[in-house]
Amino acid sequence: MTEPQGTGVTVLGLGAMGSALATTLLDAGHAVTVWNRTPARAVGLSARGAEAASAISVAVTANELIIACLFDHASVHETLDPVVAELRGRTLVNLTTTTPNEARELAAWAAEHGVDYLDGAIMATPPMVGAPEASILYSGTREVFDAVRPVLDRWATSTYDGEDPGLASLFDLALLSGMYTMFAGFLHGAAMAGSAGMSATDFAARATPFLSAMTFAFADDARVIDGGDYTVAGQQSLDFSDLSHIVRASEEQGVEPAPIAAVQELISKQIAQGHGAEAFARIYESLRADRTDSTDSTDSTGSTELTEAHR
């Protein structure tokens, strides 16, 4: 076995993702200390050269840089609250999925206890870790990101999204929202075609090139939204985009119309407000946050309370 080189790193949480992160660091020659609530999960990494810490206090004092890849926001506090004194002066990079406000709360908690904090959001599956196609978003203090970047770059293409610690989580969840809504649309289409006997496999073969080709329109919609003028020429209007025939067809086939009915509801709302002749992208106005309200409600820790309008 070769001698470890580079920054020593502690990885907390050895689920599928934490194990992939630790393995990549070991393969790159870092000295890695690992800890997991269920110790048996550290056995394979020990065999590859990791130091398995016997207790969380041993793990967090082994290195200056601590990576947390746990289950959720609550599990991060459950794991780290008892050793917060030992964390003082160290750097914590939290790659556990949280909401933006949970990330802001963790950043404020870390600052209160003298811990340098960076929040991260992993846009990859465990087998992708270590490849440039993998992407991890980061937000929080820029100096912390710059200081630990050589380690972060071992895992993925690293993107710094800004000082607000909630931004990495926000952009991650925004992208996932787009993805899951698209998949729900695909599955609804598969159920419609399936009502006439088409296999999901055959439907996927037709849907993939069609949906891929349609994504060019994201940029068109984005230009209209950012330009703020939904009456701009050359755009498909909301009146033309009425989808009630798709909702009806779905019901006629005995297929639950929920995904497409939700889109139709947004269209109908804008038409009812008198915007039928305007671009389809106008439904963004039914979805967007009131940015003035959310700015007004940001407190001194950077935490943004939900206003009545957002609930």
Contacts of 292 (CB under 8 A, 6+ apart): none
Does 13 bind ligand FVH (CB under 6 A)? Our answer is yes
Nearer to ligand FVH, 121 or 255 (CB): 121
Q: Which amino acid, 130?
A: G
The window from 68-76, 199-207, 210-218, 246-254 that contacts ligand FVH (CB under 6 A) reads 68-76
Does 52 bind ligand FVH (CB under 6 A)? Our answer is no
Does 36 bind ligand FVH (CB under 6 A)? Our answer is yes
Does 122 bind ligand FVH (CB under 6 A)? Our answer is yes
Report d(CA 171, CA 21) in Å as an integer.
Answer: 21
Question: Among all chains, which residue has been given the structure tokens 């793990």?
Answer: 59
**What binding mask, one character per residue, do residues 125-164 give for ligand FVH by CB under 6 A, x or -?**
xx--------------------------------------
| Least distance (Å) between residue 176 CB and ligand FVH | 9
| Least distance (Å) between residue 83 CB and ligand FVH | 12
Report d(CA 230, CA 223) in Å as an integer.
Answer: 10
Sequence-ordered alpha helix ranges (H) in 28-127: 43-47, 56-62, 73-80, 84-87, 100-112
Does 75 bind ligand FVH (CB under 6 A)? Our answer is yes
The window from 74-82, 146-154, 183-191, 286-294 that contacts ligand FVH (CB under 6 A) reads 74-82
Size of the site for ligand FVH (CB under 6 A): 22
Strands of the chain, DSSP E? 9-12, 32-35, 51-52, 65-68, 91-94, 116-123, 135-140, 157-160
The window from 33-41, 143-151, 178-186, 231-239 that contacts ligand FVH (CB under 6 A) reads 33-41
Contacts of 254 (CB under 8 A, 6+ apart): 195
Does 97 bind ligand FVH (CB under 6 A)? Our answer is yes
Does 69 bind ligand FVH (CB under 6 A)? Our answer is yes
Tell me if 234 sits within 8 A of 280, measured CB to CB: no
Q: Which amino acid, 54?
A: S
Residues found near ligand FVH in the complex (CB under 6 A): 13-18, 36-38, 41, 69-72, 75, 78-79, 96-97, 122, 125-126
